[in-house]
Structure 1
Amino acid sequence: MKVVSDRTHGILDYLTVAIFALAPSVLGLTGFAALVSYALAAIHLVMTLLTDMPLGVLKIIPMRLHALVEMLVGPVLFVAALVLPTILGDQREFFLVMGLVISAVWLLSSYGPPADAPQPRST
């Protein structure tokens, strides 16, 4: 069931950027964990700004490619947090949760107009 519209997805993307950007300060992420969090904030921001969705700015990246990236990032974050405990230390729970959140948003997002939406007619 796809209940997250593209507009809502854009809002959630910008919220995700803010969470990754603020996590080192708010949650006390340090070292490699802080670097990863800042990098993910920057990458997610650029991808969101460039995606062809209501809250995208330049609309270069198709929504389906955006979906593919999120489909990969969520599980990779989750697995990396489990597999790399020595690198992330006691800060890995943040990445476990964010991996689950990104995966859940991917599962619930429509990534395009709803199936029952009228399609534009070609002329």
Structure 2
Amino acid sequence: MSGPIKPMAHGVLDYGSVALMLAAPALLKLPPAAKTISWAFAGTYLAVSALTDMPLGLSKKIPFPMHGRIELLSAPALLALPYLTGATADPKARNYFLMLFGTVLAAYNLTDWQDKTETTLS
């Protein structure tokens, strides 16, 4: 799938999303379960981004297309975990996780996962 978002821009979006997932629970005054889930996703996204072969990746162990598959597989969890834990009983938390889900799907669909000009793995 070829979209307008290249690896560098995707990295910026990923790290920005991590910052959002860390800050949003306090800013939105989300319940404890929602905070924990948001922070867990932030840690996971940070680790995957740092390990991805893209300009902002630190270790470059995960090929960029694999990063995309991991990201796509995480999307259902962004919906399921909050519902399974009861975190979505709070309307703000429900809307927050729905927004994250939509953002992940949009970023996935708009990213050029096959772009080789900005990655370094051979």
Superposition TM-score tier, normalisation by shorter sequence? 0.7 to 0.9
Spell out the pairing of 1:33-44 with structure 2 (5 A cutoff): 33-44=34-45
8 Å contact 1:78–1:100 — kept in the other structure?
no
Determine the structure 1 residue equivalent to 2:97.
95
1:108 shift after superposition: 0.5
1:10 shift after superposition: 0.3
Structure 2 portions without partners, runs of 5+: 118-122
TM-score scaled by length of structure 2: 0.84
8 Å contact 1:75–1:103 — kept in the other structure?
no
Q: CA RMSD in A?
A: 1.9
1:99 and 1:50 mapped to 2: Cα distance?
22
Give 2:89's aligned amino acid.
G
Determine the structure 2 residue equivalent to 1:5.
6
TM-score scaled by length of structure 1: 0.83
Structure 1 portions without partners, runs of 5+: 118-123
Bigger RCO (CA 8 Å, 6+ sep): 2
Computing the radius of gyration over CA atoms, which structure comes out larger, 1 or 2? 1
1:112 shift after superposition: 3.4
Spell out the pairing of 1:49-60 with structure 2 (5 A cutoff): 49-60=50-61
1:75 shift after superposition: 3.3
Determine the structure 2 residue equivalent to 1:121.
none
8 Å contact 1:74–1:101 — kept in the other structure?
no
1:103 shift after superposition: 0.6
Which string of whole-angstrom CA distances, capped at 9 and with x for unpartnered residues, describes residues 12-51 of structure 1?
0000000000011111112111000011111111111110
1:89 shift after superposition: 1.4
Give 1:6's aligned amino acid.
P
Determine the structure 2 residue equivalent to 1:16.
17
8 Å contact 1:75–1:100 — kept in the other structure?
no
2:86 and 2:79 mapped to 1: Cα distance?
15
Runs (4+) of structure 1 exceeding 4 A deviation are none
